[in-house]
A and B are shown apart, each in its own frame.
Chain A
């Protein structure tokens, strides 16, 4: 690998660590919020806003920007943390998350916070809006692209597959969907021992290919793979793409990783200290 690319990746890892620290701190201070899903999405969102998408934090609504829709809207704190790091708004504002009168709603509200291209929160809906945006770009003969992150639990919504069907029918090659495949949902289907959880969506690559998407599977925490997948997606013509990103729910915090009860638990002060230590430690290793 080139030296400059390696440098980029080290920078991205540092930013993603800051994003993770924002996530655990904010949820701790708010006393509410999702935590496992935001941590699994942190690297992908960092890559999007710092390397992949054409955006201008100082002019968040400029017409030719790439659009992003967080269809798994309950990971809003991950998106807010990335936007704050990218300079859309002061990092201190993260402390208002989930508080009354805040621009940082529990689920993204495009009317309140500049930089949000779509409101979301009710699962399955964001991907349809992303399809509508990509369709609009085609109709307007505009060059901007649309990125949309969906969850694997969310993939149980029928609307996701209605959207997939239309995206492929209209040949929306300006649409890249990212599946945050962390393989856990809020409660899921408990097995006999009460701990085993069946994956929310089976064989996603095969499913999306059957729907007419260009599909690749990557490690959603490996920036080299992430950036390569986005480059590859951009080059695809005539078909929408999906990046099936294998991720770890709670990634970066040892005791939260792959633990379904950390879907939306609030860390105590000690847990927060441990979480920050884990995140910083992960960066050093």
Chain B
């Protein structure tokens, strides 16, 4: 499964794959909100121009146009920055696309914190939380280029709205090119017994490094990658809780309502265990170089390892004091 740490650009992989798909499928059209050079839709614009539709800097209309095209039997792929797609055009996504379950593919480019020094207006840190609250929406976050390509194949075949968050930068190859994404299925990337790190999207490669950091300190961390946040792999989350008794979630997203929220929802209904969340805290971020942003906002492998140790302390405390559920309030 895992191999070399070769870095592959997510957005280039996205543009190349979409170009190939546009050549393969007669009904596939690409809609741009005038960010083609950033999102890499320009690959389609230049090499298969008949399938490229410029919608200008007008996201609300772009989503509505996509809905109308889908209602007429075409499959539009809409791509712009996650921040503008999900927040500016949310009502259009909800009413014109998600409620009628139209076959529109929504690509949130420049998702997460690392958006090329553009700052908080352009970062996409709430997209998972917002999109997973829409009935009928599928929400996906790939860890690397190979997984993204496989997700796009899934989205192509699936008849209904799918949101995929795509990162701007290059990430280490985690999966082989033949890797097959399955909706609603997690992928166990590391075995471990002390705790499970549950990660999604770009944070999965940082979680892999965190597992190694912890191993050096004698902590055995399992790593469960969840590329599909909705539907979510309830079985794998439950298994992680039962087998390791402690969980840390890791995502390049707000700690509110994203992967951490989704995992917590499953845990409280099934196997409650101590859990910590790694993500951007409830505050506005800023523009800056990638490594400094990751450090300041607590998303580095070392930050994940710290939370792992914190959750282990809570797990140990619980074991010493017996079952917390048996104590009484004020008693």
Contact = CB atoms under 8 A, between A and B. Distances in A.
B72 A133 contact: yes
Of A109, A118, A158, the most chain B CB neighbours within 10 A belong to: A118
Contacts of A117: 71
A158 B60 contact: yes
A132 interface: yes
A186 B53 CA distance: 37
B60 A124 contact: yes
Interface residues of A, number: 35
B69 A133 contact: yes
Nearest to B64: A128
A132 B73 CA distance: 11
Contact of A132 (B60, B69, B94): B69
A139 B95 contact: no
Interface stretch (B96-104, B145-153, B217-225, B251-259): B96-104
Given A122-B95, A125-B92, A129-B96, A136 B64 contact: no
B95 A125 contact: yes
B187 interface: no
A131 B31 CA distance: 13
Interface string A109-143: 11100000111111011111111111111011000
Contacts of A129: 64-65, 67-68, 71, 96
A132 B100 contact: no
Nearest to B94: A122
A162 B58 contact: yes
A166 B95 contact: no
B134 to A, nearest CB: 14
B64 A127 contact: yes
A119 B99 contact: yes
B82 to A, nearest CB: 20
Interface in B36-63: 53, 55-56, 58, 60-63
Interface string A82-116: 00000000000000000000000000011100000
A128 B95 contact: no
B74 interface: yes
Contacts of B65: 128-129, 131-132, 135, 163, 166
B71 A111 contact: no
Contacts of A162: 56, 58, 60-61
Contacts of B58: 159, 162, 165-166
B29 to A, nearest CB: 7
A119 B73 contact: no
A130 B60 contact: no
Given A131-B65, A165-B56, A136 B72 contact: yes
Majority SS of interface residues in chain A?
Answer: helix
B40 to A, nearest CB: 23
Given A125-B96, A128-B63, A166 B56 contact: yes
B73 A136 contact: yes
Of B58, B62, B65, the most chain A CB neighbours within 10 A belong to: B65
A281 to B, nearest CB: 39
A25 interface: no
A139 B55 contact: no
B74 A136 contact: yes
A163 B64 contact: yes
A67 interface: yes
A255 B65 CA distance: 39
B182 interface: no
A118 B53 contact: no
Nearest to B54: A169
A128 B67 contact: yes
A135 B68 contact: yes
Interface string B11-41: 0000000000000000001000000000000
B100 A119 contact: yes
B96 A119 contact: yes
A128 B101 contact: no
A279 B127 CA distance: 51
Contacts of A69: 68
B66 A132 contact: yes
Given A111-B101, A162-B61, A166-B61, A133 B95 contact: no
Given A119-B100, A139-B74, A166-B56, A125 B64 contact: yes
14 contacts: A118-B100, A120-B95, A124-B60, A125-B91, A125-B95, A127-B64, A131-B68, A136-B73, A139-B74, A140-B72, A140-B73, A159-B61, A162-B56, A165-B56
Interface of A: 63, 67, 69, 109-111, 117-122, 124-137, 139-140, 158-159, 162-163, 165-166, 169
